[in-house]
Amino acid sequence: MVNVSLMVTASMDSFIGGRNGESTSEMAIGLHPLYNLTRHKVVIVGRNTYEATLRNGRGRVFNNRTVVVLSRNPHYEAPDRLTAGSIDEAITLAEARGKTDVFVIGGTEVIHQTVGRATQIHLAVIGAFLQRSNARPFVFPNDAWVWVRREPKNKDRARCLFTLKKKGALQRALQRA
């Protein structure tokens, strides 16, 4: 079974994407402290976020990771990357490679589609308000989740870093320890 973790940067007003769902520089800075967690793991990313990251010169964040780019276009190609048409297909690709941990890093739509499958959420809250009339706020998890870690403001402009685990996943981890 694959453990699915979300990597989410949210503004102080709970938004996880900029205008038209694109990534903003503030959002990228918020995720920076979390990237060490994904090294040598599978990273699932939506096509728009993937292409925006490359356009903005931040493509090196995908180095040393198996990257699966999600696209509804069955003919989409990303050089040196895997592609999938759905979250299920991306997770199947990870399982076929013997991977047990995958990290979903966006974009907004992909995060919303995956929150129900996640066993863990790494959340960076940035000191900005990004409310947009055409954006969807991140719906913070309900009481099925437990806050397991909080780190105060760091040098990378993230206000706080949090880790949440699904109660059942946390109980299983504690039983194994």
- Spatial neighbors of 116 by CB under 8 A, at least 6 apart, are none
**Is the pLDDT score of 64 beyond 70?**
yes
Q: Kindly report each contact of residues 92-98 with a partner whose C-beta sits within 8 Å and lies 24 or more positions away, as own/partner.
A: 93/42, 93/68, 94/2, 94/42, 94/44, 94/66, 94/68, 95/2, 97/42, 97/66
Q: Give yes or no for residue 35 having a pLDDT over 80.
A: no
The overall average pLDDT reported for the chain is: 76
Looking up tokens 């990251």 gives 53
Higher pLDDT, 154 or 106: 106
CB-count burial class (<10 Å; 0-12, 13-18, 19+) for 96: exposed
Whole-model pTM over 0.75: yes
> Does the pLDDT at position 68 exceed 90?
yes
What letter would DSSP give residue 44?
Answer: E
Fold type of domain 3-176 = Dihydrofolate Reductase, subunit A (3.40.430)
CB atoms within 10 A of CB 107: 24
pLDDT at 177: 45
Does residue 21 have a cis bond before it (omega within 30 degrees)?
no
Q: Judge contact between 111 and 131, C-beta under 8 A.
A: no
CB atoms within 10 A of CB 36: 7
Whether 168 has a pLDDT exceeding 70, the answer reads no
**Segment 19-32, tens digit of pLDDT:** 554 555 555 555 66
Mean pLDDT of 51-71: 84
Q: How far apart are CA 143 and CA 76, in angstroms?
A: 39
pLDDT band for position 61 (50/70/90)?
confident
Q: Between these two residues, 177 and 63, which has the higher pLDDT value?
A: 63
Pair of tokens at residue 33: 């402290």
Question: Among residues of the chain, what percentage have pLDDT more than 90?
Answer: 26
Residues 60-76 have a mean pLDDT of 91
Among the listed ranges 51-55, 103-107, 109-113, which one has the minimum average pLDDT value? Answer: 51-55
131-137 average pLDDT score: 57
CA 156 to each of CA 25, 29, 54, 81: distance values in angstroms, whole numbers, following the listed order = 12, 6, 21, 28
Q: Tell me, what amino acid is at 69?
A: V
Percent of the chain with pLDDT over 70: 59
At residue 113, the pLDDT reads 87
